[in-house]
Amino acid sequence: MKKIETNSENLKDDISAFYDYKIWHYITVNGVDLGDKMEIQYLFKKYGNKEEVVCYFLTMDYEKEIPSIVSIIPSAYLGEGEVVDMFGVKIKEIPKGLLLEEDSCQAPLRKAQ
Amino acid sequence: MISAITKAFSNLLKKPYTCNYPVTPVIKPKNYRGLIKFNDEYCIWCDKCEKVCPPNAIIFKQFEDGHKVYNYNPYLCIYCGDCIRACPKTGDALWQCEEKGLPSISKDAPNDDWFILEKEAKQSRENYKAIKAAKKKS
Amino acid sequence: MKKTINIPYGSQHIALLEPVRFQFETQNEKIVGVKADIGYVHRGIEKACTSTFEYKQIPSVVARVCGLCAITHSLTYVMAVEQIIDVNVSEKAKYLRMLMVELDRIHSHMLCLSHTAENAGYEALFMQIMADREIIMDIQEAISGNRVQFDFVCIGGVNRDITDEIVKFIIKSLNELQPKIEDIFDMFENNWSLSLKYKGIGAITKENASIYNALGPLARAAGLETDVRAESDYYPYEKIGYKMILEQTGDIYGRNRVRLREILSSIDMIKNILCDIPEGNIIEKVKGKPNGESVARLEAPRGEIFYYLKGVKQAMLDRVRTKTPTFSGIPAMVEIFKGQEYGDVPAILASFDPCMSCTAK
Amino acid sequence: MSWFLALFAPVFGTLVSGIDRVVRARMQRRLGPPLMQPFYDMFKLLDKRPMMVHKLHIVLGVMHFMALWASIALFMFGGHLLYIIFTHLLSVIFLILAGYSVRSPYSHLGANRELLALFAYEPILILMAVGFYLTCGSFEVSVITSNSPAIVSMPLMFIALLILLPLKLKKSPFDAPEAHQELCGGVEIEYSGFFYEVIYVSKMTEIIFVYALVFLFAGQNILLGIILVTGSFFLVNAVDNATGRIRIDHLVKKVYATAFVLALLALGWISYV
């Protein structure tokens, strides 16, 4: 896995400069709880060759809000929605409630709870 | 479409694929993964099977004099066979038979007692440890 | 003004065996808007994997995410773990794993085909394919000892060896299956009512397939060359005669053709695997605790399956991320539904082969 | 005899439906349900609690069954064929109104489709009645059944009726009005308990109506009639097991392109000969 660091300000620019839907296959958005911070990963793979998976990642505080990449990758709303539900992070324009309901346990995968 | 129609007619004369299941038994292949069987004569009480079991279907309860009792819950068991592979005395002490586990209905509540037993077993281990520690001290 | 009727499709519906809800806005039975709602059966398996079970027990846990792709889930997990703790699996175990994955692909594709037929109102074909599918189920039962939950792979190899008797049985059964598949192929190709139902219905272009990240047979039917089997060299797929199967039409008919041709090619691959299974151990000893990150991908019957693991030198893993094929396929599905007739919806939906127990794991 | 047939038509329909299910299962190489399964279903439905939307819905459902039964009774007593066809039309219209009277989208779509199917088959039934008038000189069923077999003079009309059979019996390829995978049964979806049983029985009574029309082609020759009925019964089941469901717009087009044209040709032939 090739990891490339980015941050919440540059995220959209980096992804839009990098992502071309004809070459790259977007895998998913993944969240990892680092204990006091969150790591959000955006995973890609090139079509039709055997190179390794490319991962753009950023670290963020729990309370901060990061931009959404739906405008660049239209199918990313599912992956982002899952991260929002499971970790309780905030992503712009991505509402809660894709997988969990209002009355279910909030942010189940976060470590602090 | 014509061939399918002729097939439908010819199927009328053929034997059905399905069988009247509970009345006519189905044939199981060799080495079918069934229930777990235990023989306490050969067991060395290493607890390895208990540790590897994913659904905690094997529990050893310990008594104050140190001897253990094997408990097995067929309704919780997923027949994965991890316990058999972990067992140092496979075949003698613990083995998997080809017998199919029976289904249970929720009215029987097969697992309710089991969860109580699970707690008791945990408690019994701690009690035994405490007794052992007390003996060492004295 | 045309009247708009909102038709809920699911989460409890006769043609939809999965807990997902599609809300169709229709005008004269033509669909003008679609909303998808997933997450009816979220079971928190990712949470359970990081809080209840140790990493050696997880292959049995993730296998229960889904019954149809049981082997692919545990296998992908196992591949990811083996990368972290540096276990080299023997060639023989790799061959046996490939064998099981291909068998799994055959039976899953057959199930999907039968559902496509049933949801197009062709009950007899459904029964026929289901009856033929029993051959594969019997093979799987003979190899692993169970019909659905194989628990065949474990960290470091596979659990059961294959005997000459079973090899003979598999080859005999596959020879029996091949003409039956060709027969079904003929039905899908030439039946008058099915061609009305399938040809040109539910089509997606190659462009849209790659914009919306379609996967597996859905993408390959539109001509998008994506197949994990060709994109990784973990398994020697070239050696056993793997060919990527592509169709250009992108409609239900194309998807059915992709599935049928993949079944035929899988049968050939299985025969090749059985011919040259190398000698060796089936299982390696595993020591140590996972430390670090790893990802693993595998081509499940429905498309790419993806696992991300993170371990911190403990018996319990820090993070297990499962990405299932249907989960990433939903945007493409929603796109396809727009502009279709409501009468075609069940067949289109079945041809996606959706697996919601995977999606809401 | 007529009394007996008319009174027990629903029971015969249920029995035929049981045979139908066994035959269909055997054609798919399944064991299938026992012969008496529709009766068991009926007893089970009696136990269920009816949860009905409103009274009009109930009334329309019961009226559907009564009108259908009346049309069969008319048939058994040798009544006027046009009256029979229009009483049957009335019963279908009751069902369609019942479908529109509730707010379920499935029920509405089912009623829409039922109406379209009605447009497809009703003209052909009337053309068939005209055909009988031209060959036998009367619309009375009693006259038609005492004449020589009508199938000899209008075989094309019989083929047209054969094409209609799957449509009336809700079998593929023409089962779009019911389409349980799309509409969960269409118009009948909001019925429950005893009132669903009424709809269920009327569905099976319809089988008797349809095969009675087939029987009509044999005229006075009862043996030929039995052969025609069993032959068409097996043929319809075989076609059901060899085709998928086609869409409602295709259905209307195909029925007009085949059955309607055949019926017109048959009429032309009769008047020419």
**Separation of alpha carbons A42 and A69, rounded Å:** 10
Q: Convert the pLDDT of each residue in D42-74 to its tens digit.
A: 888 888 888 888 888 889 888 999 999 999 888
Residues of chain D that touch chain B, judged by Cβ-Cβ distance less than 8 Å = 23, 25-32, 234, 237-239, 241-243
Decide if C297 and A53 are in contact by the 8 Å CB cutoff: yes
Q: Residue A113 has what pLDDT?
A: 52
- Helix axis angle, D155-168 to D248-255, nearest 10°: 170
Give residue-wise pLDDT tens across range A63-77: 888 888 888 888 888
CB within 8 Å: B14 and D25:
no
- Tens of pLDDT, residue by residue over A3-24, are 888 887 787 888 888 888 888 8
On average, the pLDDT of chain D sits at: 86
Would an 8 Å CB–CB cutoff place D180 in contact with chain C? yes
**Among C179, C166, C219, C233, CA closest to C325:** C219
End-to-end CA distance of chain C: 43
Residue D258 DSSP symbol = I
Domain layout of chain D by residue ranges: 50-272
Answer whether C82's CB lies under 8 Å from C155's CB: yes
Closest by alpha carbon to C346, among C205, C252, C222, C221? C252
Do A and D make contact via 3 or more CB pairs under 8 A? The reply is no
Do chains D and C touch, with touching meaning 3 or more CB–CB pairs less than 8 Å apart? yes
**What is the rounded (10 degree) CA torsion for C153, C154, C158, C160?**
-90
pLDDT beneath 70: ranges in chain C: 1, 15
- How many Å lie between the alpha carbon of D15 and the closest alpha carbon of chain C? 22
CA distance B2 to chain D (A): 8
Q: Which of B1, B29, B52 is the closest to C142 by Cβ? A: B29
For C18-171, strand residue ranges (E) read 21-27, 30-37, 153-154, 157-158
Sorted by where each begins, the domain ranges of chain C are 4-359
- Bridge-partner residues for B95, per DSSP? B37
Question: Which tokens belong to B118?
Answer: 């699970």
Q: Give the span between the Cα atoms of C158 and C64, in whole angstroms.
A: 17
Q: End-to-end CA distance of chain B, in Å?
A: 90
- CATH classification of the domain holding B128: 3.30.70.20
Mean pLDDT of B79-84: 84
The partner residue sitting opposite B80, judged by closest CB among C60, C134, C190, is: C60
Instruction: Among B11, B13, B14, B24, pick the best mutation site for testing chain D contact (most D Cβ within 10 A).
Output: B11
- Option in A1, A47, A100 nearest C225 (CB): A47
Tokens found for residue C297? 């991908």
Q: What are the sequence ranges of the domains in chain A? A: 2-91
Best of A20, A22, A27 to substitute, by most chain C Cβ atoms within 10 angstroms, is: A27
Q: Between helices C164-190 and C123-144, what is the axis angle to 10°?
A: 160
Assess if residue B75 is contained within a domain.
yes
Smallest Cα distance from B111 to chain C, Å: 19
CA distance to partner chain C, nearest, from residue B32 (Å): 4
Dihedral of alpha carbons D221, D223, D229, D231, sign: negative
For residue B56, CA distances in Å to B51, B52, B90, B105 come to 8, 8, 19, 20
**How many whole angstroms separate alpha carbon C257 and alpha carbon C223?**
12
CA–CA dist C316, D140 (Å, integer): 85
State how far the Cα of D213 lies from the Cα of D129, in Å rounded to an integer: 10
Q: D245 and C121: CB-CB below 8 Å? A: yes
Take residue C51 and report the two structure tokens written for it. Answer: 């809080």
Q: Do B33 and C146 touch (CB under 8 A)?
A: yes
CATH topology of domain C4-359: Cytochrome-c3 Hydrogenase; chain B (1.10.645)
Instruction: Read off the DSSP letter of residue D19.
Output: H
Pick C146's closest partner by Cβ from B1, B17, B79: B79
**Nearest CA-CA partner of D93 in D119, D124, D126:** D119
pLDDT band at D213 (very low <50, low <70, confident <90, very high): confident
The two three-digit tokens of residue C350, written as one number: 């079945």
Q: Is D179 left (phi over 0), alpha (psi -120 to 50) or beta?
A: left
Mutate to test the interface with C, among B17, B19, B30, B33 (most CBs of C within 10 A): B33
**C308 residue type, one letter:** Y
Q: Which residues of C touch D105 (CB under 8 A)?
A: 5-8
Q: Which of C227, C205, C242 is nearest to A47 (CA)?
A: C227
Could you give the C-alpha distances from A88 to A33, A96, A108, B66, C131, in angstroms and in order? 11, 8, 8, 48, 47
Domain hosting B126: range is 28-137
Neighbours of C176 (CB within 10 A): 11
At D233-248, the pLDDT tens digits run 988 888 888 888 888 8
CB contact under 8 A, A1 and C321: no
Considering only CA atoms, which of C108, C113, C106 is closest in space to residue C188? C113
C57 → closest Cβ in B30, B52, B79: B52
Report the number of distinct structural domains present in chain B: 1
What does DSSP assign to residue D51? Answer: -
Predicted pLDDT at C305: 86
List chain C residues with CB under 8 Å of A45.
231, 297
Whether there are 3 or more C-beta pairs closer than 8 Å between B and C is yes
Complex ipTM value? 0.84
Q: Do C343 and D179 touch (CB under 8 A)?
A: yes
Q: What is the largest distance, in Å, between two alpha-carbon atoms of chain D?
A: 59
Query: Cβ of B131: how many Cβ atoms within 10 Å?
Result: 13
Which residues in chain A have their CB less than 8 angstroms from residue C354's CB? none
Neighbours, chain A (3 or more CB pairs < 8 A): C
* Environment class of C169 (CB within 10 Å of its CB; exposed 0-12, middle 13-18, buried 19+): middle
Whether residue B100 is contained in a domain is answered as yes
Tell me if A75 and C212 make a contact (CB, 8 A cut-off).
yes
Tokens matching residue D14: 């249920």
Sign of the Cα torsion B96, B99, B103, B109 reads: negative
Residue D90 distance to chain C (closest CA, Å) = 25
Question: Tokens at residue C138, please?
Answer: 């019997």
Distinct helix (H) and strand (E) counts, chain A? 2, 6
Q: Give A112's pLDDT tier (boundaries 50, 70, 90).
A: low
C208 at interface of A, judged by CB pairs closer than 8 A: no
First vs last Cα of chain D: how many Å apart? 36
pLDDT number for residue C1: 55
Answer yes or no: are the C-beta atoms of C316 and C51 closer than 8 Å.
Answer: yes
Nearest to A56 by CA among A75, A47, A69: A69
Nearest by CB to residue C5, choosing from D108, D182, D184, is: D108
Alpha-carbon span C323 to C327, nearest angstrom: 7
Find the radius of gyration of the CA atoms of chain A: 14
In angstroms, the CA D160 to CA D16 distance is 23
Say yes or no for a CB contact (<8 Å) between C193 and D173: yes
How many angstroms separate the Cα of D55 from the Cα of each of A41, A101, C15, C298? 59, 37, 30, 58
pLDDT tens profile B97-130: 888 877 777 776 777 788 888 888 888 888 888 8
Strand partners, C321: C308
Q: Could D184 and C128 be called an inter-chain contact, meaning their C-beta atoms sit closer than 8 Å? A: no
Domain A2-91: give its CATH code: 3.30.460.80
- Token pair for D124: 């052909």
Whether D242 sits inside 8 A of B20 (CB atoms) is no
Chain C positions in Cβ-Cβ contact with residue B76 (cut-off 8 Å): none
C25 bridge partner residues: C6, C33
* Exposure letters C337-347 (e unless 16+ CB within 10 A, then b): beebbbbbbbb
Tokens of B134: 């007390």
Distance CA D165, CA D152 (A): 20
Sign of the Cα pseudo-torsion (B64, B68, B73, B78, in order):
positive
Q: Is D232 within 8 Å of D168 (Cβ atoms)? A: no
In 3D, which of C303, C279, C308, C159 has the Cα closest to residue C218? C303
Token pair listed for C264: 């035929």
Residue for token digits 């990802």?
Answer: C295
Q: Quote the mean pLDDT of chain A.
A: 81
Given a contact cutoff of 8 angstroms between Cβ atoms, the answer to whether D264 and D127 are in contact is yes
Does C134 touch chain D if contact means CB atoms closer than 8 Å?
Answer: no
How close is the nearest chain B Cα to the Cα of D211, in Å?
A: 20
Q: Does A100 reach chain C within 8 Å, measured CB to CB?
A: yes
Residue that has been written with the tokens 């060896």 in this structure:
C161
